[in-house]
Structures are given as structure tokens and as C-alpha cells.
Structure 1
């Protein structure tokens, strides 16, 4: 698999006018198949690992896990997997770009800012998962789609077509429908106050994720200016390193580290399953991250978040099997709406791809297409 990920943005010059298009990069016709193979792989990573990590996270709490800081740490501590992935990706690709790389101070600032945001999102997510039912948590989290669209509009000048708006509307309604349905369910294991805290934290995490996805796209375009997969892996890995350090400080400062030994010994499934559960959560979150970032590069933050939103209704279905939740009519209808929204979004990308291919093969006015890594220039002759 080629490790030179095409930029989600491209610069197009025609008749001495420059116009930035936010949808997707222009692939060469012969590389179009490989691009969609990569997208399919990233979609699989997102859908499978998102459900797995959420279910395992709830499994940790259901069987005696009580540390929200540990629940946060396992979302981040697997970042060495990203370094391994980056190392092997470099073997298969060589960066021939001679663009000036950002300074150490600039890179450090980017990693610290995004790392702090990641740590905050992860902690709020852990609190939400502790206090809310799985279906409620996952489908409130689906509101990140609206937040990403909002932030992308201001940060990345995201343009919306009727099909995209339809997709966002359907996915949002799909999530809201299940949230309303699950809010009426009894939460006997937690107090009303903790239940409200769970909702607030989950909404906060959703907004933070939307901001992070849009901010990453902006950073890659304006700051790093180097659209390769290794660059993205560096960004995500180092921000995870920063976030892990922040969470470790919180773990020791809160004193929860003292309870971890007793927590492992009293874990209902045993000591070995306790360790395996936490390790599996750590690995699945990193594979999920690879998928999310890959989709941002191959398409856009909104498309990446749409796939994430499509995967969220899958979690309640898995919860029916694992936690014996009831699958009612509202949940089934929500899944149908999510699939409909996904199809709408993919169809818009198909139309964009078809239009770009027409421009590429039949340039207007005798234009010639000059393609560089990460962007394409159309110059009049």
C-alpha cells in the first residue's frame, strides 16, 4: 500500500485565477483504484475498532473497573503502534519533497496544543462511558458530526452540497433519535447527578473531537504543508505522547494509581482478562486513529466523521449481544437512517470523482494538468 497519502485539498489554477477546493485531491486515473482500496481499509479500521474499543471500555467498567484515569490512559498509551506503522510505511515510500519543514518550536507547539485537546477529549469520553449506557454514550457521541461540520466551515471553508447536507441531517437525526429513546431508560447503577455529568462530558467530548478533526486538517494544510502519511503519523503519535503524559500526571495526582492493584485483583473476570482488556482497548484505539487520519487525508474531516457516525449505531447492536440490551424499533430505525445518510455522502463523493475525472481527461480550453504530490495545478497553455 502506497504511503504517500494524497492531500484532502488541492490548488487549482485556471485563467490566472487560483481557487482552493476542499473536497478531495485529484488522483491519477491509474491510481484511482489504489486510492479507493486505501479508503476501504481505513473505513474497516474505523468501523471495527470503534465498536471494539467502546464495548471493551464498557466491559472494563462493568466488571469492576472504576478508574476514569486508567480508562483514559488506555485510549492513548498505545501510541508506539503508530511509530511502528510509520517505520514500516517509510520502507515502502520515499519522500522527495524539498519543502521547508516547520521549526522545532512550531512542531512542539502543535503537538502540545493538540495533545492537550486529545487528553481532555479522552477524559470526558471516559467519564461519559462510566456513567451512561453504551447506546446512550455512543449515540450522543455521534453529534460530533455536526460539530465537525461547524468547525470545518470556519477553519477549512467546508462547502456543502444538498447530498452532504442530507447526509449530515440523516446521521444527526439517527443519533438524536436513539439518545431521546435511551434517556428514558432507568440508570439504577448511577445517581441522577452522575447521569447528567455523563451526558455533559459526552457532549463535551463530541465537540472536542469535532474541533480536533478540523484543526488537524487545518494544521496539515497551513502549518506542516507536507502531505505524507509519515507526517500525519508523527502528528498523531506525538500528540498522543503528550496526552499520555498529561493523563499519567492526572492518574498520580488523583491518587487513583493506588487502587489499581486492588482493582485488578477484584476484577470479576480475573487478573489475566483485566490486563488483556486494557491492552486490547489500547491497540484498538490506535488502529482506529490510523483509520480516522487516513480518511481525513484521502477525503476530508467531514467524510471521516461521517464514517465515524455510521459506526456509532453499530455499538448498540453489539451491545445487544454482549450486554443483552433490547433492540427496539427506534434503534433499528436509527441504524437505517445512518445507512441512508452514509449512502448519500458516498454518492456525493462519487459525483465529485466523476466531475474531477472529466476535468482531468477533457481539460477546458486546451489546459494541461500538472500533478504534484498532494495537489494539482491546471495551467492554461
Structure 2
């Protein structure tokens, strides 16, 4: 009897020893420089993305009105990624991926969809508190999973389906509590439209994610760091082109001067919000790209899960967003859903590799 009771402790000790050994081996396989880059990328995702979302809300809260300008800000930083891409050709001894007609057309389509996606999110942040918009945007995971299943033929297991249901419930909870966080200057119609645009933007984001994966599978065939950067640069560039056309047609560039004068905090604050919005959004994308390459999609999923509550909490602290009991419940439910999806994705990855 004594021997049998001792088995669980020995088994747990063995497991802890195996985990320690695996961690040390993983650490030895990667140089210190790579660990520093990974930690920097993680920091970029957890700081830059929430900061970008908060700056969009600050723009509208302080007198900004243009949806096209905020959409333009999201893609105007594409030269930053290009500046990081160019040295990889010299120091990593890689060559630019040949541009075929199909590849160019795919970048154009993804760029157009990206421009439309940014515009939808701009409408959402114009009418919704940042905490609410962030929670609703977490539904992009649901649409990414569904689009990946139907378009790329990715597998869905029970944990992933459970996550889809849980996140859908979290969104429903926010919808039931829609009156608690609506700004006084936002009408019921505008709030509802902000809610709808956020969900539509999340759906389109999921489609873009699946189509990007399809491009890698069908046209590129490899997922090295410089190839991922190339796709990001090209998609952001075409998104920038389409958005710039929209800004010009809507004559929003002409309105920047008067908008800056009426901006609460003055012209300098207005310029800083737009410039830092451009930088933080691009840094978030770069951080996500590096995490995918240096670590795994599972870690990227974990960080995406973490940045949702970070954005909501930061919005409550910095922007004084209302936080009702229903919204707290939705936040907890969303985090639970992300955890379930990450577990399911991890199990699916292990099953496919074995």
C-alpha cells in the first residue's frame, strides 16, 4: 500500500524533471540574441496593440471625426516594416520572392480587404468605448477558426468549438448590457452601428487571416521570416494605396488643419496622436510577425488572448471607460474562451506532429 501511495509523487517529480529538461534544451537551442528578440516582440504585441487601440479612441474623444484618417494611420507605417525587411536581404543572404501575377493579385486583394477592415474598426472606435470595442474584436478568433476550417481546411476539435461558443456568449453578454457604456453624445443608432461594424470588422479580419494562410500554402510554399515580412509590406502598401484614395475622395486631408485646431489639447497633441497611432500599430504587427516565426502560433494566440483584457483594463484606468458587472463577466468569459482555443490548438498541433 505504501508503495502504491508513493507512485503519484514520483510520477509528478518525473514530470517536473522532464519539463525542466525540455525547457533547458529549448533554451540551449536558441542563442541569447534570439531570446532577446522574442522578448522584445512579445513586449511589442502586449504594449503596441493596446496603445494603438487607445489612441484611436483618444482621437475621437478629443474632437477627431474622420474614419478615413484613422484607417489611413493604421497602414501609413508600412515603410517601417520595409526598412526592417531590406537589411535581411544583405545580412541573412536571402533573396526577394519573385512576384508572379497571381501573387501580386493576391496582395492587391488582401490590401483592399485590409483597408476595408481598418475602416470598419474606425467606425467601431468612433462610437464605442475602447474596452467594449476590444472585447467585441476578440470575436475575430471565432471567424479565424471558421474561415480557416472552410477555406484552408484547418482542423477543429472539441476545445476549439467550445471556445467559439464561449466567445459568442461573451459578445451576447455585451449586447445585453449595451446601455451601460454608451457615451452621452453617441445616439442609440450610432452605438448599434459601432457594434455591428466591430463584428463585421472581426469577421473580415478572420477572412484575411485565412486567405493569408492560403497564399502561403498555394503560392509561397514557405514561411521564413523575410517572406512573412514581404507579405506584410506588400499587403500594407496596397492597403495604404486604397485608403489614401478613400481619404482623397472624401476630402479628409483638407480637413486635417481645421480638425487639428479644434482638437482638445491643440495641434501638437493632434499630430502626436496620429504619429504614435501609426508607429504603435506597425510595431504591433511586427511583434506578431516575429512571435509567429521565433516561437509558434500557440504563443501568438496566448498573447492575443492577453492583450484583450490588457486593452480593456488600460481603457478603464487611462480613459475612464465604464466597467459594469456584465462587461467584467464578458471579459472573464472571453479570456476563458481564448484559453480553451489555445489548449485545443496546442493539442491539435501535437497530434499532427506525432
If the TM-score is normalised by the length of the shorter chain, which range does it land in?
A: 0.7 to 0.9
Q: Distance in 2 between matches of 1:258 and 1:81?
A: 25
Deviations along 1:106-146, one digit per CA (max 9) or x if unpaired, are 23212111100000001111111112222222222111111
Tell me if the contact between 1:102 and 1:223 (Cα under 8 Å) persists in the aligned partners.
no
RMSD, aligned α-carbons: 3.0
Distance verdict in 2 for CA 1:148–1:112, change over 3 Å? same
- Secondary structure of the structure 1 residue equivalent to 2:153: coil
- Secondary structure of the structure 2 residue equivalent to 1:209: helix
Q: Distance in 1 between matches of 2:278 and 2:176?
A: 31
Q: Distance in 1 between matches of 2:95 and 2:186?
A: 56
Distance verdict in 2 for CA 1:336–1:193, change over 3 Å? closer
Q: TM (normalized to structure 1)?
A: 0.75
Q: Does 1:124 align with 2:123?
A: no
2:141 pairs, out of 136, 139, 145, with 145
Q: Distance in 2 between matches of 1:51 and 1:174?
A: 20
Deviation at 1:285, TM superposition (A): 0.8
Query: In the alignment, which residue of structure 2 is the partner of 1:177?
Result: 173
Distance verdict in 2 for CA 1:136–1:354, change over 3 Å? closer
Query: In the alignment, which residue of structure 2 is the partner of 1:292?
Result: 288
Q: Does 1:269 align with 2:269?
A: no
Tell me if the contact between 1:145 and 1:305 (Cα under 8 Å) persists in the aligned partners.
no
- Equivalent runs, 1:310-329 vs 2, <5 Å: 310-329=306-325
Tell me if the contact between 1:217 and 1:296 (Cα under 8 Å) persists in the aligned partners.
no
Distance verdict in 2 for CA 1:139–1:200, change over 3 Å? same
Q: Distance in 2 between matches of 1:349 and 1:33?
A: 24
Distance verdict in 2 for CA 1:299–1:172, change over 3 Å? farther
* Aligned residue pairs, count: 326
Distance verdict in 2 for CA 1:352–1:194, change over 3 Å? closer
Tell me if the contact between 1:118 and 1:239 (Cα under 8 Å) persists in the aligned partners.
yes
Q: Distance in 2 between matches of 1:191 and 1:93?
A: 54
Q: Does 1:237 align with 2:233?
A: yes
Query: In the alignment, which residue of structure 2 is the partner of 1:69?
Result: 68
Structure 2 stretches lacking a partner, 5+ long? 1-24
Tell me if the contact between 2:124 and 2:195 (Cα under 8 Å) persists in the aligned partners.
yes
Q: Distance in 1 between matches of 2:346 and 2:227?
A: 28
Deviations along 1:290-324, one digit per CA (max 9) or x if unpaired, are 23344555544x87566434422322211111221
Structure with greater proportional strand content: 1
Query: In the alignment, which residue of structure 1 is the partner of 2:159?
Result: 163
Q: Does 1:201 align with 2:216?
A: no
Structure 1 stretches lacking a partner, 5+ long? 1-28, 360-381
Query: In the alignment, which residue of structure 2 is the partner of 1:93?
Result: 92
Tell me if the contact between 1:174 and 1:335 (Cα under 8 Å) persists in the aligned partners.
yes
Query: In the alignment, which residue of structure 2 is the partner of 1:109?
Result: 105
Q: Distance in 2 between matches of 1:167 and 1:32?
A: 34
- Secondary structure of the structure 1 residue equivalent to 2:273: helix
Q: Distance in 1 between matches of 2:53 and 2:334?
A: 18
Tell me if the contact between 1:115 and 1:242 (Cα under 8 Å) persists in the aligned partners.
yes
Query: In the alignment, which residue of structure 2 is the partner of 1:9?
Result: none
Tell me if the contact between 2:55 and 2:273 (Cα under 8 Å) persists in the aligned partners.
yes
Distance verdict in 2 for CA 1:354–1:185, change over 3 Å? closer
Tell me if the contact between 1:177 and 1:330 (Cα under 8 Å) persists in the aligned partners.
yes
- Equivalent runs, 1:205-284 vs 2, <5 Å: 205-284=201-280
- Secondary structure of the structure 2 residue equivalent to 1:313: helix
Query: In the alignment, which residue of structure 1 is the partner of 2:77?
Result: 78
Deviations along 1:127-179, one digit per CA (max 9) or x if unpaired, are 11112222222222111111111100012221123333344444443444334
Q: Distance in 2 between matches of 1:219 and 1:266?
A: 44
Distance verdict in 2 for CA 1:355–1:158, change over 3 Å? closer
- Secondary structure of the structure 1 residue equivalent to 2:81: helix
Tell me if the contact between 1:128 and 1:137 (Cα under 8 Å) persists in the aligned partners.
yes
